[in-house]
Structure 1
């Protein structure tokens, strides 16, 4: 899976310009842009402002806030001039994306305080597509971007949105700009960049629906893997996540994470949850490593970090890992990460009421244990 963020930004800007050039002679300043409070000219300036802001975040490696600058167009800039600025700022974001290493993250507030290049690309494409739609609606013309562009946005920064048969209508619905049969209107929305959890030697990088689909299909998910990776368990977990996404029940913090080694940026394994916590506040974890990465403590290090993050939430009381009775190394990973073998009664309940395989042994880490460390 080759990251195509820069190409997608270029395609989105080209789509925007192709439409707006057909209405460049209309009065943009005197017409509201769709449902926005801005007029069409202000909305065009906003598109350019977002594109240059995202380029600035990446180029400046901003970590704690926005780079303190804004774009200002010269007084008297006409509609054609606004399009020229959109084209220019789009090219600058594309250049920033192409020259930013894949492990770089920069500040963005929604929702985990940072985004990688792919996230900034998807946000840029979203701003271009949605505000081109707003301008087009205000000026009374139809706009339909290439289908791969809203699909890129949805599978990168809208992981919580159940996909529909039409990516463009789904994106419009998800951002309060349209209706979808059988779904309630959206009045408030935020996109979701992927979550990344750091450890001493690793980063646990949340997998997007696009990357999960690629992993399930036999690809690399956009990661550079060590020899022998990814292991089959990671591909199976990606399939589970893809199914949850397609059913509209995937939540980013409860999906799959890829373990990336800091020293060389190579992926060594996968780890994540089998779904959101149940009514009792319990969630199940799973993990595997490529064979070449085993024996170095990576899995225990990652599982400790992921468990601490999850158990800090108010809606989680316990995490469980179901491990085959013969898999002594995996049992050791769980124990080193603070898990203990479940009691006889709890394990019996898991076998009889939760349909856990009889050859599996249950390990548990509870909130109380996390809070006492």
Structure 2
């Protein structure tokens, strides 16, 4: 998998400036940019400002707010010079993405209060593509960026959006700039960076649909794995994420997390949910570890952290896990994490909760 990175930022900026340089002799200040309240010049300045801000976040790595600085252009700066600034700030973001370690996160408000380098790259690409569209619309230009860039944005920071007939129209629809058949117009929107959960010696890092797709196809998902990883269960769980995304029902906090060791940044396993909580507030949880990481307490630490976070939510009443009867290690994990066996009969609702009467045992943890 080619992770969203500096190359994609550069590609987006190149698509922007190649189009707009052909129109620098037009009136950018007297024309609104698409449906925005800004004129075309103000919108171009906004692109540059966002690229610089994202580069600043990755460079400064603040955890609670944006680095308090901005961009100011000299009075009388024309359209051609503004495009020069977009190229310069795009290069700064690309460089910041390339030189920032994978595990580093910096503040961004939506919706989990931080983003990693892939997230800032995806947001930068989105700003360039969407606002180039706005400017082009105001100037009467046709614009369609590379499909692979649009797909990378959608699968990276729009995990809640069901794929449409093509990536670019879907991205425009998802941001209130276009229409799709059989879908209501979008009036409010925001992108979603992946969640992270600290868990002692581990960090649980949420898996985007882009990373899940790569994992399900045999790739590494953008993570550096210990020997033997990822295990088959993690790849199967990644396939569940992809299926949920394609159906438009995926929600990042109820998906797959990769367990990353804080000491060396290497992934040791996967853990997550089989879907969002049902109408009774129950959610099923599953996990696995690469063989080389077993027997060290990692799964117990991660399960406690993930369960605590889930049960703190108002819509969750209980969690359950189904364990093979002969998997003594996994029985120990759920018991140490506070789960208890349940003898309730299988209610045939597809949850798998209760004594299956066969080769598996169900455990439950209530809030």
Query: Which TM-score bucket, shorter chain as reference?
Result: over 0.9
Rounded to whole Å, the distance in 1 between the matches of 2:113 and 2:119 is: 12
Query: Is 1:354 paired with 2:353?
Result: no
| 1:154 corresponding residue in structure 2 | 154
Rounded to whole Å, the distance in 2 between the matches of 1:298 and 1:245 is: 28
| 1:258 corresponding residue in structure 2 | 258
Alpha-carbon shift at residue 353 of structure 1 (Å)? 4.3
Q: CA RMSD in A?
A: 0.9
Per-residue CA shift, 1:62-120, capped at 9, x if unaligned?
11100000100000101111000000000000010111000100000000000000000
Per-residue CA shift, 1:194-253, capped at 9, x if unaligned?
000011100000000000000000000000000000000000000111001001010001
Rounded to whole Å, the distance in 2 between the matches of 1:59 and 1:6 is: 14
TM-score, normalised relative to structure 1? 0.96
Alpha-carbon shift at residue 355 of structure 1 (Å)? 7.0
List structure 1 segments (4+ residues) > 3 angstroms apart after TM superposition.
Answer: 352-357
Per-residue CA shift, 1:306-338, capped at 9, x if unaligned?
000010101000000011111111011011111
Rounded to whole Å, the distance in 2 between the matches of 1:252 and 1:130 is: 23
Query: Is 1:336 paired with 2:332?
Result: no
Query: Is 1:35 paired with 2:35?
Result: yes
CA contact (8 A) 2:320 2:363 kept: yes
| 1:141 corresponding residue in structure 2 | 141
Rounded to whole Å, the distance in 2 between the matches of 1:62 and 1:89 is: 19
Rounded to whole Å, the distance in 2 between the matches of 1:284 and 1:355 is: 7
| 1:191 corresponding residue in structure 2 | 191
Q: Which runs of 5+ in 2 are unaligned?
A: none
Matches of residues 1-373 of structure 1 in structure 2 within 5 Å?
1-342=1-342, 344=343, 346=344, 348-350=345-347, 352-354=348-350, 356=352, 358-367=358-367
| 1:35 partner SS | coil
Per-residue CA shift, 1:7-63, capped at 9, x if unaligned?
000000000001101111100000000000000000000000000000000000111
Alpha-carbon shift at residue 3 of structure 1 (Å)? 2.4
Q: Which runs of 5+ in 1 are unaligned?
A: 368-373
| 2:346 partner SS | helix
